[in-house]
Amino acid sequence: MPIPAEGYDLTMTDPVDLARRPNSGWCYGRPPGIDASRWPVSTTNGMPLRHAFTVKLPPQYRTLGDEYVAISLFVDEQWETPPANRNVDTGGARRADPRRFDMEFMDNDYTLFWLTEEEFAAPLGSPPAIEGAPVPGWLSKSPLDYCGEFNLPRTVAEQQAKSVFSPGGLAVNELLAAARPPRGWKNLPGTEALDYGWPIEITLREGDPNVGKPAREFRHENEFSGYIAAYSEEGQALGLERFQDWHAHLGGTMFPMQGYPDFSPFYIEISEIFGGFNFGDGVAQIDLKEMKLEWAC
């Protein structure tokens, strides 16, 4: 397929009831079109994986063809240490679902589904109740208790409260806090929080010279592809660090915390809050063509 000619920035907005289905996808909450029979289960602890995000991709990044318009990513337990259960057999479910891709990195399971337009618009799924498996923390606890305050996105009101500075700043913050619902999304019980998602806004990235060019670790490889590393002399002269302000992005300039993965230009780079991940204060990349995931901190 043609290499992408455009990159996109992905930004979350304030959570909404998923009865109001966001057009471009959402983070957290429940996935569309994945019922209990398809819901992925951890190979290490036997618990259902957590839905992190579903995003409807721009056509240039639909690497399985135009029929498959969106992806849903699920993640294994990253915030708690459940007891191991090595007797989990998920092979049948994996083989029966040709648009399911299972990835393992740093002892964590990740499962990505490609969704058709019909699946993206389908009813929201619910995780299975698994006999003999513990209830995962993301179901038994609020998002705040499960992930922690600094590992979750902030609403517009919360960002405004943080930026207020004046002699009466404390009083202003208290007024803003009083204006918010007493049980915001972060404080909802886990099962109730699943009914809400953080909508994803997708905007065209303007002027990124690295769109369509695979990033590589070594300079001579980048000279071959034309990729310009953000913190190289040329990258700094071009001001490529301006592309670092995102919750996630598709293609273009990559900002890995350590080495560059050998990924195609059809990739998505995600921050921890884009779905409640624990990357050790790092970021992750997913190659949507080769179906690989890596993260570093």
Average pLDDT of the residues in 213-237: 93
Asked if the model's pLDDT at residue 263 lies above 50, the reply is yes
Asked if the model's pLDDT at residue 186 lies above 90, the reply is yes
- Give residue 169's pLDDT: 54
- Give residue 96's pLDDT: 77
Asked if the model's pLDDT at residue 236 lies above 70, the reply is yes
Residue type (1 letter), 35: D
Asked if the model's pLDDT at residue 163 lies above 70, the reply is no
Pick the more confident residue, 230 or 169: 230
Asked if the model's pLDDT at residue 202 lies above 50, the reply is yes
Closest by CA to 189, choosing from 135, 151, 134, is 135
Is the Cβ–Cβ distance between 38 and 123 less than 8 Å?
Answer: no
Average pLDDT of the residues in 136-141: 96
Asked if the model's pLDDT at residue 158 lies above 70, the reply is yes
Asked if the model's pLDDT at residue 201 lies above 90, the reply is yes
**What pTM, to 2 d.p., does this model score?**
0.90
- Give residue 156's pLDDT: 87
Residue 282's pLDDT band, with cuts at 50, 70 and 90, is very high
Mean pLDDT score across all residues of the chain? 90
Distance (Å, whole) CA 275 – CA 286: 14
22-36, 121-135, 153-167: least confidently modelled range: 153-167
Residue 180's pLDDT band, with cuts at 50, 70 and 90, is very low
Average pLDDT of the residues in 186-213: 97
Residue 176's pLDDT band, with cuts at 50, 70 and 90, is very low
Residue 171's pLDDT band, with cuts at 50, 70 and 90, is low
- Give residue 106's pLDDT: 85
Average pLDDT of the residues in 24-50: 95
- Give residue 173's pLDDT: 55
- Give residue 205's pLDDT: 97
Distance (Å, whole) CA 173 – CA 195: 28
Average pLDDT of the residues in 168-179: 52
Distance (Å, whole) CA 80 – CA 173: 32
